[in-house]
Each structure stands twice: as C-alpha cells, then as structure tokens.
Structure 1
C-alpha cells in the first residue's frame, strides 16, 4: 500500500513523533510511505527510505493557495492509496485539497483535546463531508469534538497513538549509566516530567507540588523537567522564587527520554490539557511509577496502573507524589503488569495494524465506488 502522511509540522511534539513512528512501522511492514509537512522544520527521526516533502506554508491566502497546488502536484505524481492527515491545520488542508484534486480516501486525526476555538470547530463541521473519516486519539477528545459540533458521532472514531515498545523497556544498565550522568547515586530520588514548556502542561503546578514535598524532613529528591518552550523563563523564575535552585532542573530538549524514564523513580504529568499523553505509556513501558492529573486521555492510558489526581490542585498532586515515593517501584510482577498493559494495547505494532485495516477498508470502498460510477 502507498500511504501519504500529511502533517502540520515535524517538530519534537507528541503528534509529530507519532507520525514518524507510524512511518517507520509502515515501512518495516513493506509499505511505501511519503511524509508531507506543511512547515519546514524537522526535529523527528524519519525513516531514510520515506519520501519526504517539507514545505513552507505561511498564514497568508497566497501562501496557502500556492501550497495547496504544490501538494496537489505531489499527490498526482506519487499516487497514494490513502491520505492520512495529522493535527488541525493539516486536517483542514487535506479537506481543502479534495476540492482541487482527485484524492484517495482522506483520514483526519485530531491529537489535542482542544483543537481550537469556535472558528476551527466551525471549519471542522463545514468540511466534515470532505473527509472519509475523522479520528481522535482519545475517547475524551472524541467526545469533546462531538460536544463542540465539530463532527457527528457516527463520523468520528477513536484510534489511539502507539509507542515503540522495544525502545521503551526496563534496563538496569541504562538506569545506572543515566543516573551517573545526572550526578545521582542509587540512593537519590529522581522525579521526572517530560513535555513542552507551555501553559497547558502546567509545570508551574508541578513545581508548587514539589516545593511542598521539599518541606518534609529527610526527603532528598530532585525534579527534572525535560522539554523546551515559551514558559522556560517563567518556570526558571518560579524555581528561584520557591527556593528550588539545585533541586529542580530544566533539562531542555532531550532525545534520550527512554534513558531518563529508566533513571527516574517517579514520572509526574501535571497537565491541564492533553490529547493522549504518550509519555505516560512510555513511562509505564519502562516500569516507572506514574502520578498524573486527570487531563483528557490520561485515564484510558493509565487506568489503575498509577495515581490520578484532579487538575490545578498542588496539594493533591504533592500527596500523590508522596504516596508513590513511599510505595516505591513496586514488585517485579507489578512492574511487568505496567509494561504489559501498554504492550497489549498501545504498542506501535498494534496501532499500525489498526490503521492498516482502516486504510484497506476505505480503499476498498473507494474502489467499489469508482467501479459503480464507471
């Protein structure tokens, strides 16, 4: 099968990494893959045998129109069997493309619980019939789009994201080496957060909760926050204001998340908004205990394999972190159960299989429709 993956961009975000992981898995299974990005930056690892087209679309009518014609020409030359768009801008772009080109079945995947305000929801609703199918990565996100009027219930389904389970696995050797590189001993307590430094990730709340932990006598813990974003300066100021210098560290962009998760004694997600926070799946696959706020998409991933607290409640988050640290990493069977939960439901192999079955159904229907018209 010839699969075209259309994405808004290829920066180091969860949706972008999912596009890259799907491309790698599809190619490993013998399919041809093209990745088309509407913006030029690329921070994710794409398979070398993928056909890649990176564009430079701007927010002007002329640039959008020009990019539509560029992708139209690429589409006609590459001739995919299916076009799978990811993220709101690419989703609406793919639907617009159906107006000027003969396209294969078009699937639009939303990755965020909050895809945008009223205008974007209206754009989704008005263009819904131009897509063969709309999907969301979580049940919470699907219901949110239905409630906003962006998609009718019978036109949007849930297909989760997946992780590369062989990459995220427990490794005592990796744990030891990474902790040494971070200046931590085996007795040190390392708490980890991974995510973009943006308001919806609420790392300021995490710092507040961590400062409450530090007030406990005898607790020597460090908080590591991996990621980059517009809130970096504000978070650095909060660290200084709370007296956490030397105990809370902004690591910046890291490409060794599996190593960090192995090194950590606890992973904490403090988000207000998520679509499907894959980093929770990655933590569980590495056997790492997890505490999270009840952001959309968390419950379906975490289930009873970790602790979930209300959003915007630093005291509750601190209490859950305290309880998780006291409980420790759990028994070997408990750690295995965390990993098995992810491997059985959220591995990239399982998710890619769902997509390929979906592609085949839609392609078959499109072929039958063309035969009837002929």
Structure 2
C-alpha cells in the first residue's frame, strides 16, 4: 500500500450550526479520517459543531482541519475566488458541497481544476419552485460528478433535470445513536410543565416551509378541549412573527420557544409526540431521532413522511397537509406517551441494512468477510478505504462508496480495501 500522504477530501458547507446537514457532516468527517483520509471543512460561519469538531481526536491528530472563509456576503463573487484559491492550494481528491449556496460557490470555484465534485441534495423540488438562485444552482449542479440525496424526492428532482442515473444516488440519513443515548429525559417538574399536559415537541428551522403558524392555530383550538404544552426548538426568520401569533392566540404561556438546543434528545425522550407539519421535506432526520428516542411523530401527509410511515407504522401518523382542522383533531386525540417508553427500530439506517443498500447501488458485494476489490483498468489510481463492518449507524462513512464510484465515473482506477 502507498506510504505517501493521505488523500484529501474537502467539504464545503454554509455554517456549522446544529442543523440536519451539519450534523450529518459532523458524523461523516471523523469517520473519513478513521478510514485514512484527510478532511478539510470549509465554512462561512462557525457554530456549535465547529468547537465539537475542533476538539475531536481526529482534529487533534491533524487529520481534520477547519477553515472559515471571509464572509464578504452571500452574493459577493469574491467568495468564489476565495474558494478557488483554497482549492488550488489544497488540491483535494474530492470536493463535496452541502446546502445551496455552497453548491453554487463550490461548483463554480472547482471548474477547470479537475477535482471531482459531489453535490449533497438535502431537500426536494418544492424548495426550488422559483428564484434565480435556484435556477443558477440547477445549471451548475448538472455538472457534478455525483449527486447524493438523502431522500427519493431529492434524487427525483435531479432526475427531472436530466442528470443520468449513474450520477445520482440516495443515501438515507444516519442516526447518531451515541448522541441520543448520552441524554436523559427532562423532568417535567424542573421545567414547570404539569403532569396532565400533553407535551408536544417541534424541532427545526422557523421558516415558512415548516408551517408552524398552522400548528399554533391548531394548538389554540385543541387547548379548548385538553391542556397542551408545545416546546419549539430552533431558530429562523419567522421567529418574531410566530411569537406574536402565539401571543395573539393567547397560548404564549403554553408555547415555549427555546431556540437552538443541543439537548434535543432529552426533550424527545420526554415528549408525548413530535409534531412536524412541513409542506415539504427531504428526509427529516429529526423524525428518525424521535422514533429512536421512543417518541411518536405527528406528521403532515407529504411523500417523504408517507415513506417513513410505511417503515414505522406504529410510530408515525400522517395528517392531511394544510388542514388545520385535521391537525386540531389529531392534537385532541393524541395519546400520552406509553410507559415504559417504547422505541422503534429505525429500519434502513442500521449497519447491515446500509451495507446491503450500498452494495446493491454499486453492484459491489459487501460482506463482513470482504477482503479487497478493484474497479477500472489502466487509469490513475486512488485508494479509498471502506470498512467491511460498520459498527453502528453513526458511522456514516458509507458515503465513501459513492465517492469511489464518482472517481470511477471520471476515469480513475479505484481500490476498495476492506479493513
């Protein structure tokens, strides 16, 4: 095996706040280091996950680095130039971008540098219904060597834009079971929540897509029939508007805005139900986490939620989208959390399910006894370590298989080496 420097993968993401994409990257980056890669994360804005990654053993060993680009403004072309200078200096073997702005910046900055580019799709078509910036991302994204979506709706969006099947794939979100297990459920008395109240939890961005205004209206109506407390974890542009709505509806005392939280699992383990009335989603990781914590989920009836319902029949209830009356009735009838708490298996996000899925997608036999294999012939070689046994769903390192496929598609010879 080569004794030269480790290959480098660059991940570009808007910020390192506690969001879904950010959390998935925080799982993936250290796992890639453990597989023999160097990782550089480029971001515009720091956040709680910056510190967590900076303190990781991989960062302390110099295998994982963090870089904050000068924030000239999200529409400033100097951002593209700064990214291009960095890519020319680092010369990574792979560039992967996360979230729309960095898809545009990374896609433009890497043009002509012969760096394989992977675009991470975290949403679905309704998110991109209109707007020049979305059209620009679409035009640039078509040139990506691989598009990895976390949902079938996400990959369908790019299928409709003419991206061939060999350059698009679905990788479901990983559930960070260690993070969930590290939290004990909150005690209602400590937070002044009466024992006879139905405790509902919302986790996510406070944006129009989440339709929190409809939830507040349904809550006000349902509270005429039973006592309910709603906990809202997250931030966004609609926060002030939603707080004013809660005040006008007379439910501000029972509707608590906690902001961005790192102890969400503690609330999931105490809540009677997670509520997510979104108009559209990619794959909502918060639902998988809630189910893993034993919390049922009341969800809007949209395609990705229906897929989750088919997998987790006992834990997921889908309610007619945009129907406030239906949500009101669901809140009126929602049962209290069973005791002792029940947890539901997160099908498709466990290690063996993942191994089968990625083996099938790459037409590559994966097993616990796999030794090594090579793909391609007579081209430049890139060695990419792949674990033959993934101990838990937290090891989101299975992304490496799709990265390897991307390299193969552009003419590199790949050796997948099982550890």
- Same-fold call, TM cutoff 0.5: yes
Q: What per-residue deviation string (whole Å, max 9, x for no partner) do you get for residues 245-298 of structure 1? A: 321111122111111111211110111132221110110010111111124532
Counterpart check, 1:144 vs 2:157: yes
1:42 corresponds in structure 2 to 47
Taking only aligned residues, the RMSD between alpha carbons, in angstroms, comes to 2.9
Q: How many residues align?
A: 356
2:120 corresponds in structure 1 to 109
Structure 1 residue runs without a partner (length 5+): none
**Which of 271, 276, 279 is residue 269 of structure 1 equivalent to?**
276
Q: Partners in 1 of 2:180 and 2:103 — Cα distance?
A: 30
Q: Report the Cα offset of residue 308 of structure 1.
A: 0.6
1:57 and 1:46, CA in 2 relative to 1: closer, same or farther beyond 3 A?
farther
Counterpart check, 1:357 vs 2:401: yes
Counterpart check, 1:54 vs 2:59: no
**Which of 298, 309, 321 is residue 291 of structure 1 equivalent to?**
298
Q: Report the Cα offset of residue 46 of structure 1.
A: 2.1
TM-score (norm 2): 0.75
**Contact 1:286–1:339 (CA under 8 A) maintained in structure 2:** no
Q: Secondary structure at the match of 2:206?
A: coil
**Contact 2:18–2:262 (CA under 8 A) maintained in structure 1:** no
1:243 corresponds in structure 2 to 250
Q: Partners in 1 of 2:270 and 2:302 — Cα distance?
A: 25
1:97 corresponds in structure 2 to 109
Q: Report the Cα offset of residue 164 of structure 1.
A: 0.5
**Which of 215, 227, 234 is residue 227 of structure 1 equivalent to?**
234
Counterpart check, 1:184 vs 2:193: yes
Q: Secondary structure at the match of 1:251?
A: strand
**Contact 2:177–2:394 (CA under 8 A) maintained in structure 1:** no
Q: Partners in 2 of 1:110 and 1:85 — Cα distance?
A: 9
**Contact 1:281–1:342 (CA under 8 A) maintained in structure 2:** no
**Contact 1:161–1:348 (CA under 8 A) maintained in structure 2:** no
Q: Partners in 1 of 2:326 and 2:153 — Cα distance?
A: 22
Q: What per-residue deviation string (whole Å, max 9, x for no partner) do you get for residues 83-105 of structure 1? A: 211112222222223324231x2
1:31 and 1:180, CA in 2 relative to 1: closer, same or farther beyond 3 A?
farther
Q: Partners in 2 of 1:109 and 1:5 — Cα distance?
A: 10
Q: Report the Cα offset of residue 72 of structure 1.
A: 2.3
Q: Report the Cα offset of residue 123 of structure 1.
A: 3.1
2:220 corresponds in structure 1 to 211
Q: Secondary structure at the match of 1:66?
A: helix
Structure 2 residue runs without a partner (length 5+): 1-6, 355-390, 415-419
**Contact 1:169–1:285 (CA under 8 A) maintained in structure 2:** no
TM-score (norm 1): 0.84
Q: Which has the higher helix share?
A: 1
Q: Report the Cα offset of residue 211 of structure 1.
A: 1.5
Which stretch of structure 1 is more off in the superposition, 80-89 or 191-200?
80-89
Q: Partners in 1 of 2:173 and 2:128 — Cα distance?
A: 16
1:155 and 1:102, CA in 2 relative to 1: closer, same or farther beyond 3 A?
closer
Q: Partners in 2 of 1:42 and 1:70 — Cα distance?
A: 24
